[in-house]
Amino acid sequence: MATEQDKILDEVTKSDYKYGFVTEVDADALPKGLNEDIIRQISAKKNEPEFMLEYRLEAYRKWLKMKTPNWAHLNIPEIDFQDIIYYSAPKKKPKYESMDEVDPELIETFNKLGIPLEEQKMLAGVAVDAVMDSTSVKTTFKETLAEKGIIFCSISDAVQEHPDLVKKYLGTVVPPDDNFFAALNSAVFSDGSFVYIPKGVRCPMELSTYFRINAANTGQFERTLIIAEDDSYVSYLEGCTAPMRDENQLHAAIVEIVALDNAEVKYSTVQNWYPGNSEGKGGIYNFVTKRGLAKGKNSKISWTQVETGSAITWKYPSCVLMGDNSVGEFYSVAVTNNHQQADTGTKMIHLGKNTKSTVVSKGISAGKSQNSYRGLVKVIKRADNARNFSQCDSLLLGDKCGAHTFPYLTINNHSAQVEHEATTSKIGEEQIFYCNQRGIETEDAIGMIVNGYAKEVINKLPMEFAVEAQKLLQISLEGSVG
């Protein structure tokens, strides 16, 4: 009985990664290894102003004195940081006028991913800043956005064209010495996105970036900075897939968000990086620092993520609720399968008065994977009337996987109201049988039950992303279905 069910679960959860392919684009890369000279070369290749080089060098010097964090519930193999290429850009320089000039291989890659740029351009309401390895290849809708004074470009372009803004905000939310991986990113970050929404502007479309790790052995060090001025609104989408690889690939990104008075930023992620094969070989190491500063009064920052990929995920999108009445939200679905490990969650730091935060985390573990939620709620002494609600659910498929919850509370104000709910459930044989009895096959039944379980979070995603996320959940758990 139980073994029979395990067998079924085994079969349907042993699915291999569907986006395993490599694009052959000539890469212009620096040699392996990291030292001050490499950093100077990165900065020079990108034509950066002096302040940027100084920023990088300072971060590098701090990084040298730091150690890899080991407090997470993860088993991280030792990483040789001198065996990594820190800069790689497609040889043919970007800045194309039309699609004809874009490397056909690249277009093919996007086609395989089901996100051809041409179609994306036509998809009303979605601007795409496609990041292939480390350099922006194509930015669309720039002009429409420019009419409203919105800046949406690669961070490299922003450094060139808007150095004052970059200088003012870069590193103010995630300082270079925040943690080991943040320091590394600050030293070597190659590219990423920059968003600036001027005062009183509501961004008319979802801003979307597709990231993709490509050249072999290239660590990706994306850097994203989003600034929302007073009374502005923006919804930003980040989606990822990566080609199949044998070597482990390091990814250490930083995302910084600043929301000023009455501003709202919604940041959604669907992450599907290569998780390694079903024996646990290969796969992306994803060490990300994402943090939003709700700086202004009545500001709001909302993180929504659907995480199905990576061999190791170490990620805690956080909100610093500095402005009075500011709001922070975190909605997460994290799926681990086979030998994947995830230690993910959020930090809600209540600094202002009447600040409010909501955390909904849904973990799904299958195969031999380990899935941990780690969350901190901190209320400082002067943060009167802070409120937090946290709900952490875990769903287990089979009996070889693990789910763990690590909630931390630091409350220094008596008026705070903090609630935490946690549940762990096993996908029920009875639920599957009930579906079977209505003519629904076991694979489809599992997909249906899992999507039902994650619905609360999926519903927070923008429509077209939600559909993609549902598909991903099925693909990552169901083998042939999708």
Partner 1 sequence: MLSIKNLHASIEGQEILKGINLDVKPGEIHAIMGPNGSGKSTLASVLAGRDIFEVTEGEVTFQGEDLFDKEPDERAKDGLFLSFQYPVEIPGVSMVNFMRTAVNEIRKHRGQEELKSSDFLKVLREKKALVEIDSKLTNRSVNEGFSGGEKKKNEIFQMAMLEPKLSILDETDSGLDIDALRIVANGVNKLKTKDNATIVITHYQRLLDYIVPDHVHILYDGKIVKSGDKQLAVDLEQHGYEWVKKEMAL
Number of Cβ atoms within 10 Å of the Cβ of 408: 11
Q: Closer CB to partner 1, residue 257 or residue 449?
A: 449
Least separation, in Å, of the C-beta of 457 and partner 1? 10
d(CA 482, CA 437): 22
Q: Which residues contact 272 (CB under 8 A, 6 or more apart)?
A: 19, 239, 240, 241, 308, 309, 472, 476
Least separation, in Å, of the C-beta of 481 and partner 1? 12
Least separation, in Å, of the C-beta of 410 and partner 1? 32
d(CA 282, CA 274): 8
Q: Closer CB to partner 1, residue 37 or residue 441?
A: 441
Least separation, in Å, of the C-beta of 271 and partner 1? 21
Please name the amino acid found at residue 52.
Answer: M
Least separation, in Å, of the C-beta of 335 and partner 1? 15
Q: Which residues contact 482 (CB under 8 A, 6 or more apart)?
A: 18, 471, 474, 475
d(CA 279, CA 272): 18
- DSSP states of 72-85 as a string? SS--PPP--GGGSB
The token duo for 14 is 């042993």
C-alpha dihedral sign at 41, 218, 241, 63: negative
Place of tokens 């874009």: 102
Please name the amino acid found at residue 475.
Answer: I
Q: Closer CB to partner 1, residue 75 or residue 437?
A: 437
Least separation, in Å, of the C-beta of 440 and partner 1? 6
Q: Closer CB to partner 1, residue 6 or residue 324?
A: 6
Least separation, in Å, of the C-beta of 1 and partner 1? 5
Number of Cβ atoms within 10 Å of the Cβ of 33: 14
- Cβ(402)–Cβ(370) under 8 Å? yes
d(CA 219, CA 84): 6
C-alpha separations of 365 from 71, 194, 357, 373 in Å: 21, 34, 26, 12
d(CA 145, CA 126): 11
Q: Closer CB to partner 1, residue 106 or residue 454?
A: 454
Cα-only R_g, the chain:
22
Instruction: Give me the count of residues in the chain.
Output: 482
Residues of this chain that bind partner 1 (CB under 8 A): 1, 4-5, 428-431, 433-442, 444, 448-449, 451-456
- Cβ(371)–Cβ(403) under 8 Å? yes
Q: Closer CB to partner 1, residue 27 or residue 445?
A: 445
Q: Closer CB to partner 1, residue 4 or residue 279?
A: 4
Q: Closer CB to partner 1, residue 380 or residue 440?
A: 440
Least separation, in Å, of the C-beta of 434 and partner 1? 4
Q: Closer CB to partner 1, residue 255 or residue 454?
A: 454
d(CA 49, CA 65): 26
Q: Closer CB to partner 1, residue 54 or residue 441?
A: 441
- Beta bridge partners, 272, equal 241
Least separation, in Å, of the C-beta of 263 and partner 1? 32
Least separation, in Å, of the C-beta of 2 and partner 1? 9
Least separation, in Å, of the C-beta of 235 and partner 1? 24
Closest CA to 397 of 433, 369, 375: 369
Q: Closer CB to partner 1, residue 68 or residue 459?
A: 459
The token duo for 347 is 């930090």
Q: What is the DSSP letter of 87?
A: -
Coil vs helix vs strand at 220? strand
The token duo for 274 is 């290569």
Please name the amino acid found at residue 322.
Answer: M
Number of Cβ atoms within 10 Å of the Cβ of 100: 8
- Cβ(231)–Cβ(261) under 8 Å? yes
d(CA 116, CA 109): 8
Q: Closer CB to partner 1, residue 28 or residue 444?
A: 444
Least separation, in Å, of the C-beta of 373 and partner 1? 19
